[in-house]
Structure 1
């Protein structure tokens, strides 16, 4: 809603500028209070607090991704890489029939995780050297940019799973 209001502000007539400013102020306060509530809730549960610290240590991952993963993926750190990819809807499924070879596509899984990871990956390929290099290699090999982004999302989810499983924070090596 905040983004929508911000975009409307730029296209609206000058007479409505004060209305848009008031609305943005209200939305900012609401977002701030929700973030405080989520942070307080996480600090009350020891397991969530450690998982929050682990996930927040990754460059390109903010509170939105961390809060979503804590809420939507309680199995994080307990499943195999393949199962976690399927659960998040990031595993490619083939569409073959007989001699016909179809395209591989992702499907199913938990949509909120996929949505939040997509936006996080756009940030991560800019500021996270590991993801940036992986993305560039895939694009240089001829993968479409969205397919490369999806592959990076899957790799990031696998890394998150391993980090939580091993109880260790991000290491660039």
Structure 2
């Protein structure tokens, strides 16, 4: 919603509309900051989650948002084998063979939210 408001702001030309959009964007910024603070506090309280989060963020290419998404949508992370985690995330290739028919392996199934993260 915040991104949509910023797009509207870029196209606005009336001063009253610009002021209104800027106020709404500032309100969203405050709400986002408050939510991020609450999430950080919950992570700090759970010792194993804090350890997993700091480990994930230390990996190059893994952002805070990606790490938080993985913690939220894949609680099995660190408790199962890498192959089963890849299957849960929908990143493991599965053979698509039936009788004489032999096709390429495909990535399928799993949790779409984890894949997007």
Interval of TM-score (by shorter of Structure 1 and Structure 2): 0.7 to 0.9
CA distance in 1, matches of 2:80, 2:66: 19
Q: Does residue 50 in structure 1 map to residue 25 in structure 2? A: no
Greater mean alpha carbon deviation, residues 79-88 or residues 95-104: 95-104
**Higher RCO (CA 8 Å, separation ≥ 6 residues):** 1
* TM value normalised by structure 1: 0.59
Could you list the runs of 5+ residues in structure 2 that have no partner in the other structure?
Answer: none
Map 1:107-146 to 2 at 5 A: 107-116=108-117
Does the C-alpha gap of structure 1 residues 6 and 100 become closer, same or farther in structure 2, counting only changes over 3 Å?
Answer: farther
* TM value normalised by structure 2: 0.83
Cα deviation code 1:38-64 (max 9, x no counterpart): 000111111111111111111222221
Match of 2:13 in 1: 14
Does the C-alpha gap of structure 1 residues 92 and 44 become closer, same or farther in structure 2, counting only changes over 3 Å?
Answer: same
SS at match of 1:95: strand
Does the C-alpha gap of structure 1 residues 20 and 95 become closer, same or farther in structure 2, counting only changes over 3 Å?
Answer: farther
Shift, 1:93, TM fit? 2.7
Could you say what the CA RMSD is over the residues aligned between the two structures, in angstroms? 1.8
Match of 1:32 in 2: 33
CA distance in 1, matches of 2:24, 2:64: 23
Report which of the two structures shows the higher radius of gyration computed on alpha carbons.
2
Aligned length, in residue pairs: 115
Cα deviation code 1:107-137 (max 9, x no counterpart): 2211211111xxxxxxxxxxxxxxxxxxxxx
CA distance in 1, matches of 2:47, 2:3: 33
CA distance in 1, matches of 2:57, 2:86: 20
Which is richer in helix? 1
Could you list the runs of 5+ residues in structure 1 that have no partner in the other structure?
Answer: 117-173
SS at match of 2:60: coil
